[in-house]
Structure 1
Amino acid sequence: MGGPEVERLIALLAKLPGLGPRSARRAALKLLQHPEARMLPLSVALTDAARAVRPCSLCGNLDSSDPCGICLDSHRDITLICVVEGVGDLWAIERAGAHRGLYHVLGGTLSPLGGVGPEDLSVTPLLRRVGEGEVREVILALGATVDGAATAHWLADRLASFGIIVSRVAQGVPIGGALEVLDDGTLTTALRARRPG
């Protein structure tokens, strides 16, 4: 097709989430058609990010500063920590502008079948942060999966001794969602998590 360099580019692009072999070929073609305008700036941005971006030592977010910009933001509510599975979840909540407190990235969820135990997650730093005494509430913003629910339950048990509020994000019917198209699990969760109207 285009030589080993092109094939390597396509193979690397195909490893990115959401890009299969066909999408990777299209992306590579776009990049190669205008290398000075598209490929070279991308190459520089990738190199700069690879050299500068690291996990925040406090919360686990990815940033070029440590502590990260969120942890350093003096306008944040330091008494409120939102626990998420991964950095992508943190970025999604930030994009929505729905949380003005701090975060803690677990780095996954408990998964006995997948071989992920408490020692594989960033639990000890979370407990240390809560134990310092400034935190009044921890929001468990974990996915509505079996592993996410198990992790949230396990964490709630560990946090109970600190005398703080431990809450979970609400789950159920999305805004604009029609009840007839929702799966049984979502409907059940929505009904059980109902609140006064």
Structure 2
Amino acid sequence: MPRAVAGPEIERLIQLLARLPGLGPRSARRAVLQLIKKREGLMAPLARALTDVLDKVVECKVCGNVDVCDPCTVCTDPVRDGRLLVVVSDVGDLWALERAGVLNARYHVLGGVLSPLDGVGPDDLNLSKLVARVVDQNVVEVILALGATVDGQTTAHYITDLLRDLPVRVTRLAQGVPVGGELDYLDEGTLSAAIRARTQM
């Protein structure tokens, strides 16, 4: 078992950072060293930002986005077209589509995708609220912006069946999204092409 090379506070910070996606123990160590070297210019502002996020960020009860207000700024934006609803699996996908800047719509975050192997069923996702929003907000088109994975496509078909009897057009992202791809890792140009070439479900 490797021995600790720093005090318990530093080791704890390394262990916590190593839990983040994309960061292993080595990357976490490098990040902590950088933070310590730039204590005033980087660590102190980061600590304040983390405290602010912890204290102020909430989940939007309408769409599932995260923001400092509820409803979030996307839901309360008066220039967005409320008749167009984009369904995403998580907040990272919402942010990716917003960075692309090709949609002037509202969003609905499912909180994941159907995955029988992982024990994620329809009751684990934000599906009932989706149907209610389609009915109550006079939505005319639902765009299924889900990843091109097996679970993403299974979820898209499930939602299509769920909305089949409602007077709403259901489309999905088309070309530009590779099979097995996750939206959050795609560039804005690829996302723009996928949005423009969406197809009827």
Give the TM-score range, shorter chain.
0.7 to 0.9
Alignment correspondent of 2:158: 154
Please list, as runs of the form range in 1=range in 2, the aligned pairs for 1:169-184 lying within 5 A after superposition: 169-172=173-176
Q: Distance in 1 between matches of 2:128 and 2:198?
A: 33
Alignment correspondent of 2:6: 2
Cα deviation, residue 171, structure 1:
3.6
Q: Distance in 2 between matches of 1:170 and 1:2?
A: 51
Alignment correspondent of 1:13: 17
CA 1:133 to 1:44, structure 2 compared with 1: closer, same or farther past 3 Å? closer
Alignment correspondent of 2:110: 106
Equivalenced residue count is 178
| Residue among 125, 128, 132 paired with 2:129 | 125
- Percent identity, aligned pairs only, is 59
Alignment correspondent of 1:65: 69
Cα deviation, residue 18, structure 1:
1.1
- The one-letter amino acid of 1:47's match is T
Alignment correspondent of 2:40: 36
Alignment correspondent of 1:56: 60
User: Secondary structure of 1:57's match?
Assistant: coil
Cα deviation, residue 97, structure 1:
0.4
2:173–2:198: 8 Å Cα contact kept in structure 1?
A: no
TM-score by length of 2: 0.84
Q: Distance in 1 between matches of 2:17 and 2:9?
A: 12
Where has structure 1 moved over 3 Å in runs of 4 or more?
171-174
User: Secondary structure of 2:87's match?
Assistant: strand
1:138–1:165: 8 Å Cα contact kept in structure 2?
A: yes
TM-score by length of 1: 0.86
User: Secondary structure of 1:167's match?
Assistant: strand
CA 1:194 to 1:92, structure 2 compared with 1: closer, same or farther past 3 Å? closer
Cα deviation, residue 131, structure 1:
1.0
Aligned residues: CA RMSD: 1.9
Q: Distance in 2 between matches of 1:144 and 1:28?
A: 36
Q: Distance in 2 between matches of 1:71 and 1:113?
A: 33
User: Secondary structure of 1:81's match?
Assistant: strand
| Residue among 110, 115, 119 paired with 2:119 | 115
Cα deviation, residue 34, structure 1:
2.0
What stretches of structure 1 of length at least 5 have no aligned partner?
175-192
Q: Distance in 2 between matches of 1:19 and 1:94?
A: 25
Cα deviation, residue 5, structure 1:
1.0
Q: Distance in 2 between matches of 1:194 and 1:123?
A: 21
CA 1:22 to 1:124, structure 2 compared with 1: closer, same or farther past 3 Å? same
Alignment correspondent of 2:82: 78
Q: Distance in 2 between matches of 1:78 and 1:28?
A: 44
Cα deviation, residue 20, structure 1:
1.1
Cα deviation, residue 124, structure 1:
0.7
Report which structure shows greater RCO (CA 8 Å, sep ≥6): 2
2:147–2:153: 8 Å Cα contact kept in structure 1?
A: yes
